[in-house]
Each structure stands twice: as C-alpha cells, then as structure tokens.
Amino acid sequence: MKKFQAQPGFVVQAFRFALDPNVTQEHALRSHCGAARAAYNWAVGWVEASWWQRRAEESYGVAEEQLTKWRPWSLPVLRKAFNETKHTDPRFAAWWEENSKEAYSTGLANASAAFDNYAKSKRGKRRGRAMGMPRFRSKRKARLSCRFTTGTIRVDTDGRHVTLPRLGTVRTHECTVKLLDRVQAATARILSATVRHERGRWFVSFQAEVKRDLERVARPDVAVGIDLGVKTLAVMADSTGEIRQVPNLGHYDTARRQLRRASRIVSRRQGPDRRTGRQPSKRWEKANAQRNKVHHRVANLRADALHKLTTSVAAEYGTVVVEDLNVAGMLRNRRLARRIADAGFGEIRRQLTYKTRRRHATRLVVADRWYPSSKTCSGCGAVKAKLPLHVRSYECDACGLVIDRDDNAALNLAALATACVTGTGVAGDQDTAPAVSKPRGADQKTRATRTRRETVTGRAGGATLPQQRQTEARDRTQAEPLTLW
C-alpha cells in the first residue's frame, strides 16, 4: 500500500456503508451510543447547574462578586471535568469502562457545540432561527450516534468488513471497494468514522480526505432551468429549447393504504404509556416494527429517485438554474404540505449544491425568490400582473404565445443563466442571486410591522451590532456567559 501524502486538490468526502452486526456487536453499538447520550446529558447538567445556582443566589441578594462562577463549556474543560467525576459519579462508575473514550467525547463535543450555538444565537451572531438552551436528551427519542476520531479505523482488505475501536471487525451489507481502492492507491486518507442507527439499520460513515479528479460534464455550454412542482416533480428546459418532464412518483401517497392498515394494527395493541409507566407488549413492538418498515421503504425510494435526478443533471449541464423556494413557508399550507414534503424540494436544492461543486466546469445559479418566472413570457419578456395557481396555461397578451405554465417557467430560468454577472451564482453560493432587474422594481415584499427580533434588539435581522456592542461581545468569554434571564 502506498503512503498517503496530502496535496492540493484534496477534499473531504464521506463514504457511507450499511453494517451487518451480530447480536453482540449490535449491543456494543447501542452501548456506545447510549454512553454518548449520557455524557451529553451530564455536560448539560454540569454547565447549567452554575446558572441555576447564580439565579438562586441573586434572589437572596448575594453580591455580584460573591456569586458562583460561571462554568465554561469548551470541550477541553468538559473533558477534564468529566474525567474527574466519572470514577465517583454513580451514573458512570459501574460501566464507563465498557465503552471507548470516543463515545463520551462525542457527547461532550455535541454539548459544547450546542452551547456555542445558543450563545451565538442569543448575541445575534448566528443565522437562522433562534436557538434555545440545550435540553436533556431522552433515552426513548434520542438518535443513536457515535463518532470515532482515534484508534483503529480502517476498511479491511476483503472489501466486506470494517474495523472500529472497541467494536472490532464488523461485516458490511455492501462492498466497500469504492473507498478501499482509494486508500490502497494513496489517494484517500480516513479521518474519522461515525456509526448511526437510521431507518432500522446501522450505518457507518467514513470521513476521508480524497483527491478530487476533474469530472467533466456532457454539455458544458448548455444551461438548464429546473422548475419544481407537485404534479410534475421537475420540468427541465435547456438553453437549446429542449424541454423534459420528470414525473412525481408520489411514494408516500402510494404507500398510504399500506400505512393505514399497519397503523390500525398498531393502535389495537397495548402500547407504551409514560403517564402510568406501562411497557409496550411484544405484539405492539412487532406491529410497530412492521409500520416503520413501510416508512423506511418510502424514504429509501424517495432518496434513490432524488439522487438519480440530481446526479444526471449535474453530469450533463454546465449551468444549472434553480429557484430559491421558501419550502418552510410552503409546508404551512395544510392542503399541499404532504405532497410538498413527499417531493423533497429542499433535498433537491441541497444535493444540486454539493454535486455541482464537485465538478469544476459546472455552476449552480439560484434565482431570486421574487423573480416572476411563471408570470414572465419566455417569448417576448412581458410580465403579467397576476397569474393564479389554478391557471395551468400561460397566454401572453403581448405576443400571443400559448405555453404550459411550468414549461414557460423553466425556459425563463434557463434564460436567466445568461443574465448573471460574472462571479455570482457559482456552485454552492446560495446567498448570492443573479443581477436581474425586477419587473416591479421590488427586491422583497413590503413589511408593514416590525418583526419580533427588531422590536427586541432595535435593529433589522441582517444589520450589524453597534461598535460598542461588538467590542463587548468580542471581549466576553465563556467563563462569563451572557445573561440568560
């Protein structure tokens, strides 16, 4: 085997394989994941204990300089504190030696990241929705996951086994040759491994540093516009005028009858009751497993269809234009939420983002959210003031063009690629939009009232903090966290 040498052109990529553990190995996997959850809960309780103590002392009028010190949540501090208490803590003293140290490190690292996200969100330094305080993870609902960064982590030479710390050699359901060949050719180096239980099966994901070869596309000079929908999953129109439609198979709707039958059987069994402490019966567990099997099959079919669609698009066209859809807002429509979730609009956008980044000759252009692709005539460029959703055919009042609504939108998206300014719309750049003029001169909807975040902070959601507050936030350390109440 050749010696690996990191060179320019290497990227970090994940390789996931389904595991086939025996009974002993599955028990060890669940033990490691449970240890990670226990360490996470311990870290959350250890950090928040000082917060609650300070709050109680403040209620009794204790002076500021005499209050209990804040406990930091950085990973080195959590590791040191956990190692000092695991020998005497009755929650860990009897069994902590049964698992790898990486299991506890996984939980502590997750807790540290959770507190960091909460602190950044509280100070307005984190994009997205507001993050709350970290909460304890339930044994019944927590996702089984554990990450290994040190120790023996390798893909065996037979191509059907992997070796992990403390777990030993575990057989895989599928061949691991796609990673094994790269490791043996010294074009990949394994960095870490993560085991996770998903959809009734155990998976291992290897994070590896891989040499990325130049992947060429079939038609680098052709741009394609993709208009997503419910009845038809995707309408693709390229710059040459060719239009293709991808039907929506509706895997969930197809399986609804089978799911209703399985759910009816589950409801007739004696299930768990947390209020009375009643344990589920064996027949309920068996029926619930059968129902979950149907859900897992639907999810696998959907994922397979979306991967085939996005892979074929990224491998054929040099420029891919998609819409910036507000999927979260669309899911609030109770009439279309089920079909939109089954279509996977957000997953298509996510897959196209990283798959186009892999190919140096392919770029991803994200159209502005308010770009009227459906209201604009693909022939003359005239824009209609209104176009109700039930009108499925576009009739231009200026040039008389009659075309399908989705086909017209896809053609406009394909034409949008030529309107992009150099440097915008590159692969993976979801925050930049092509520089195109808005038909009505508006970049966003008019907002009559201030949002809750503006009312509290006194500034817009994307505005920067004043210089004085920036300095205070920069000087504030984890040893002196923000005010929580």
Catalytic residue numbers? 227, 323, 406
Q: How far is CA 260 from the centre of its chain?
A: 29
Rounded to whole angstroms, how far apart are CA atoms 226 and 405? 13
Rounded to whole angstroms, how far apart are CA atoms 436 and 368? 9
Beta bridge partners, 197, equal 202
Beta-strand relationship, 317-323 and 363-367 = parallel
Helix (H) or strand (E) holding 191: strand 188-198
Q: Which of 178, 204, 173 is nearest to 32 (CA)?
A: 204
List, edge to edge, every strand of the sheet that includes 243-247. Answer: 243-247, 232-238, 219-228, 317-323, 363-367
Rounded to whole angstroms, how far apart are CA atoms 28 and 19? 13
Rounded to 5°, the CA angle 190-195-197 comes to: 150
What sign for the dihedral angle of Cα 91, 279, 33, 158?
Answer: positive
How does DSSP classify residue 336? T
